[in-house]
Structure 1
């Protein structure tokens, strides 16, 4: 099930899913790359995709967490895991990444790495260390995705196959004050992905945006899973059922329905001071701050 918007009205539509299975993934390539792969959604993608028999490359900034995640994935799946320590808030990391994946047949790229300006949403000028946070969010949420696509696309184009999953957010679908910088960065993810898919779909490459709402990760304060908040493993297993060339997905039926509800809220409500206050208090309560 996917969600589309026509004449400002939201409707749910069914589509045929393209499943990644052991017998069908092999033509994509021998390796998968996951950014932000040491924890949360990234690690869940790395583990789930490695079960298909691919060798995993996880990239994140913390060497200790990378090594721990690699050991866990190797023990769980029996597949080789390569780690690359790189801080995506920095500007000078891509030569290092390129050197470490040079010559590898990358079949799947998951652009998952991302950060919030602050865990508790606030107005832009209330953000601590604002200049630094602007730099970090743009580098991590925007530049990293573009540069990683630039790195792996030539090989995918040459082979005429590949999958790129770009992780966005459900809040990219609406004007989202007090998450303004983060939401805007995720809008870029969606528009870039749509354009790139149009450019390379004919070359046999699938580029899809995955836009979750609640997932229990460090970014969200490890919120307690419930009917609308998934564990990373649950979310990834669900989202891979909705792989479709050039499309966008919320990754689950629950989040698709939630997306429809959120998009039906009048803009004036979303932009009101009252909404901003209540939303902030809701997030504070959910993350236990």
Structure 2
């Protein structure tokens, strides 16, 4: 009787385990459909225009940052555009004012420096800020071993990718807390969700942004403030080096429209349905295997980049 009882218990445990796994998979699928497929058509996300009159976007002259600025302007928000190039800021501001008919304000700031935030705070004083998009970021010219990247990049990358998020969040948080409303969108990266060798410091800085955002989301939810970590995979931008968009690597505009539809529905979002699928598949793999695959892929990119540099030098 004992062996039969043992077999029966094992069978029950197996059924329960498979049922639990099946339920988790189904729940993930349903959540993904709601977040990435239905949120836009059904209008499930938060209407940011109801939270204030101004949006602030860092790193707003190119790529994802510019796309956020354009889309928020299209939704009726005035814009504070912050970046280091005054000429580019003026051009983007004029373009957005002409197209969307909103007010814009530009702030010239180099986020590689830690001495810019008093001026930014002064420039934002008195504005009814509905949304902050912490987008500014910097990456490597190409994937490489950490020891080859040069010590000079360390402080710069941490200042731009991590410190900027902390400082900008602190600037707007108190007024949002007073008004009991506001949205802070922190643009991290899929490489911040899964450790990515050959992008070590970049990956770590983006992991900081992801964890910082998720912690704050829990702290401030009861105060009416939405804080979201956004972790894109590849998007066709200057930073990624991808010139031609496709279904897996969308344009910044397509990506941002999708990501904004998830605001208020999740503390963390991949922003785009195929990026969410990539993230889900990677999560199924043992972390060491996922890291090995990433390193193999990026090492090929590294070798190709080095060869290209050598050819340029020979010319």
Task: Give the alignment's TM-score, normalised by structure 1.
Answer: 0.88
Q: Give the drift of 1:181.
A: 0.6
SS at match of 1:49: helix
> What are the Cα deviations for residues 80-129 of structure 1, in whole angstroms up to 9, with x where unaligned?
1111000001010001101111111111000001111x1211110011xx
Determine the structure 2 residue equivalent to 1:59.
Answer: 82
Q: Assess if the C-alpha contact under 8 Å between 2:48 and 2:131 holds in 1.
A: no
CA contact (8 A) 2:60 2:69 kept: yes
Q: Matches of 1:92 and 1:148 in 2, distance apart?
A: 12
Partner of 2:312: none
Q: CA deviation at 1:169?
A: 0.6
Question: Within 2, Cα distance between the matches of 1:254 and 1:217?
Answer: 17
Equivalents in 1 of 2:148, 2:104: separation in Å? 41
- Gaps of at least 5 residues in structure 2 are 1-20, 309-315
Instruction: Provide runs of 4+ in structure 1 moved above 6 Å.
Output: 283-286
Which region of structure 1 is more displaced relative to structure 2, 150-159 or 75-84?
75-84
Asked if the contact 1:110/1:164 (under 8 Å) is kept, the reply is yes
C-alpha contact 1:120 1:280 (8 A) present in aligned 2: no
- Check whether the contact 2:142–2:301 (CA below 8 A) recurs between aligned residues: no
* 2:116 paired with 1:71: no
In the alignment, the residues of structure 1 paired with residue 302 and residue 248 of structure 2 have an alpha-carbon distance, to the nearest angstrom, of 14
Aligned: 1:176 with 2:183: no
Cα-to-partner distance string for 1:125-160 (whole Å, 9 max, x where unaligned): 011xx2221101110111000000100001100001
Is the CA contact (8 Å cut-off) linking 1:35 and 1:60 kept in structure 2? yes
CA distance in 2, matches of 1:216, 1:171: 16
Q: How does 1:88-99 map to 2 (within 5 A)?
A: 88-99=111-122
Deviation at 1:173, TM superposition (A): 1.8
- Mark the CA change 1:202 to 1:166 in structure 2 (over 3 Å): closer, same or farther: same
Between Structure 1 and Structure 2, the one with more helix by share is 2
Q: Counterpart of 2:142?
A: 120
Please, which of 58, 68, 83 is the counterpart of residue 35 of structure 1?
A: 58
Structure 1 segment 176-255 matched on structure 2, within 5 A: 176-244=196-264, 247-255=267-275
| Higher CA-based Rg | 2
State the alpha-carbon separation in 2 of the partners of residues 257 and 285 from structure 1: 28
Instruction: Tell whether the 8 Å contact from 2:234 to 2:249 is kept in structure 1 after alignment.
Output: yes
Secondary structure of 1:242 counterpart: coil
More strand by share: 1
Query: Which residue number in structure 2 is paired with residue 141 of structure 1?
Result: 161
Q: Residues of 2 paired with 1:53 and 1:60: CA distance?
A: 21
Alignment partner for residue 297 of structure 2, among 265, 273, 278?
A: 278
Corresponding residue number in structure 2 for 1:267: 287
Cα deviation per residue 1:221-245 (whole Å; 9 max; x = unaligned)? 1431112101110100111111125
| Contact 2:54 2:131 (8 Å CA) reproduced | yes
Provide the TM-score with structure 2 as the length reference: 0.81
User: Is the aligned partner of 1:19 residue 2:55?
Assistant: no
8 Å CA contact 2:134–2:168 kept in 1: the answer is yes
Once the two structures are TM-superposed, the CA of residue 250 in structure 1 deviates from its matched residue by 0.4
Of 153-162 and 68-77, the range deviating more from structure 2:
68-77
Deviations 1:1-24 (A, max 9, x none): xxxxx9xx874442464424xxx4
RMSD after superposition:
2.2
Q: For 2:229 and 2:294, locate their aligned partners in 1 and report how far apart those are by CA, in whole Å.
A: 27
- In 2, Cα distance between the equivalents of 1:242 and 1:82? 27
